[in-house]
Structure 1
Amino acid sequence: MRQRRESLGISQGRLGRYLGLTFSQIQKYEKGSNRIGAGRLFQIATFLGVAPSYFFEGLDGVGEPAGSVAEGPLRDEVRTLVEAYAAIPDPETRNSVLALVRSLTTSALARRTTQV
């Protein structure tokens, strides 16, 4: 997590603000002092522009870390989307937006599967 965060030039404070945590909590996550729950890991991965599996690949000694979910020009769009999502103050509205995005991706995947 630390390596990806630093490669993007994101401070612990900024990541903490996005997650609603203190920078010291981010430090604890990065040092391994505190465990990161699955939901929180998903939020972190989204903000850092990678799939959650990015943090697990290579642990078994096989394979390299996964690439970014968003490469090139798409990276700016993803970052803008994540920042806009994080700025939504109402939790119910955020959940609705997330449900909409998930339904759109599920629909798109289903269309691709039926076309093959």
Structure 2
Amino acid sequence: MKHPVDVHVGKRIRHRRWMVGMTQQQLAEKVGIKFQQIQKYETGMNRVSASRLWDIANATDVTINFFFEGLEGEERDLAMSAITGEATQGDLIVDREAQELVRSYYAIPEEQRRRLFDLARVLSDAA
């Protein structure tokens, strides 16, 4: 049975890899393992060791904390999704459209991005 923390960390690995435009093969090469192992990490099938997570964080240019962000509030939902194999409601990490939106958002220059964020906040309050 998959542990909810392993599932969460795996989703965050996949999310970050996708955000930096890296394939599983490219990440595997940077870390010095086979891409099949990256697949297993991303699904939560295999637990990521501390040293491997350190390598993955360096390869994707984030701190290790990135992989644990949002865990506390989602732990129960993650446990259920690990058991059922379904994404939890509101789990934007697995939504391709949300990933593309975030990737595009961070490609916008900072000043324009701030204005876009303010606009989005106003529009969501109006809805």
Q: Normalising by structure 2, what TM-score? A: 0.47
SS at match of 2:73: coil
Q: CA separation in 2, counterparts of 1:10 and 1:47?
A: 10
The alignment status of 1:23 with 2:24, answered yes or no, reads no
Aligned length: 64
The alignment status of 1:33 with 2:71, answered yes or no, reads no
5+ long unaligned stretches in structure 2:
1-12, 75-106, 108-127
Matches within 5 A, 1:88-103: none
The alignment status of 1:53 with 2:51, answered yes or no, reads no
Cα offsets for 1:81-109 (capped at 9, x unmatched): xxxxxxxxxxxxxxxxxxxxxxxxxxxxx
Q: How far 1:17 sits from its partner (Å)?
A: 0.8
In the other structure, the counterpart of 1:106 is none
Q: How far 1:57 sits from its partner (Å)?
A: 1.4
SS at match of 2:22: coil
User: Aligned Cα RMSD in Å?
Assistant: 1.9
Q: Percent identity?
A: 46
In the other structure, the counterpart of 2:18 is 6
More helix by share: 2
Q: Normalising by structure 1, what TM-score? A: 0.52
Counterpart AA for 1:45: A
Q: CA separation in 1, counterparts of 2:31 and 2:62?
A: 16
The structure 1 residue matched to 2:55, chosen from 36, 43, 52, is 43
Counterpart AA for 1:30: E
Runs of 4+ with >4 A deviation: none
Counterpart AA for 1:24: Q
Q: CA separation in 1, counterparts of 2:20 and 2:62?
A: 11
Q: Which has the higher contact order (CA 8 A, sep 6+)?
A: 2
Q: How far 1:4 sits from its partner (Å)?
A: 0.6
Counterpart AA for 2:55: Q
